Amino acid sequence: MLDRDRKAIQERYRKRWHEFGLKSRTLGWNKDCQWVRFEALLDGIRPTEIRSILDVGCGFGDLLGFLRDRGWSGRYTGIDLMAEFTEAARALYGGDPEARFICGDLQALPPDFSSDAAVAIGIFNHRVEQGNLAFVRETIDAMWQATSALVVCDFLSASAEAHRREDHLYYADVAEIQRLASGYSRRYMVHHAYMPFEFQLKIWHDDAFEVSAPVFAPYRHLASAQTKRREDAGKAPE
């Protein structure tokens, strides 16, 4: 990210912090729909895939609270450019032994850092001088390098009507983001079914399959079970 883009982001959120404090409006969630985004994040993900999570642009650590409320007990790392946000998150979740918060961008992660999944909710919404698609590619690539199982991020959708758009926001083309995803893996999900003007992208590292049953590994047992049922049904009674 360009230094001037980083400074613009920090200025935007610092102004909101001074105006609203520890409220969702500070993070830009004026309609308080982040819980819908978090719920959609879990669609298509099996709990065993996410024993550890990197939350990019973590804000106050709301995703951690959401996951803990649903019984998730894995390791959580939140990272954010705003020191005010990471300090607030530590105050909220400092008693959680499996949680830590880092102030900085992805370059601030330790060189040996690794997580099962990386999640970025809301960080691509604003226009940047760097060029939004370049920023998306750069960030997803860094998230990919830091993970072993899954990358999740979301976007405002170019399907939004012109009168709903704001000039300072970035609206991503679904087909363009899909092409980006396919460069990493054959196994990805474009989720445009939870909000009308937003969508999520999920990219899995493991896209292996067997030629005899061309389904991805987590679904292989379904194909095997169906085959066995058919074989059993075709056996003549003794």
Q: What is the pLDDT of residue 162?
A: 85
Q: What is the CA radius of gyration of the chain?
A: 20
Q: What pTM was estimated for this model as a whole?
A: 0.89
Domain ranges of the chain: 34-207, 212-238
pLDDT tens digits, the chain, 238 residues: what are they? 788 999 999 999 999 999 999 999 999 887 778 899 999 999 998 777 799 999 999 999 999 999 999 999 999 999 999 999 999 999 999 999 999 999 999 999 998 999 999 999 999 999 999 999 999 999 999 999 999 999 999 999 999 988 889 999 999 999 999 999 999 999 999 999 999 999 999 999 999 988 877 888 777 666 555 555 655 566 655 4
pLDDT on residue 233: 62
What pLDDT, on the 0 to 100 scale, is given for residue 236? 53
Instruction: With both helix axes pointing from N to C terminus, report the angle between 34-41 and 62-69 in degrees, rounded to the nearest 10.
Output: 60
Secondary-structure class of domain 34-207 per CATH: alpha beta
**What residues contact 127, with CB distance under 8 A and at least 6 apart?**
167, 168, 169, 170
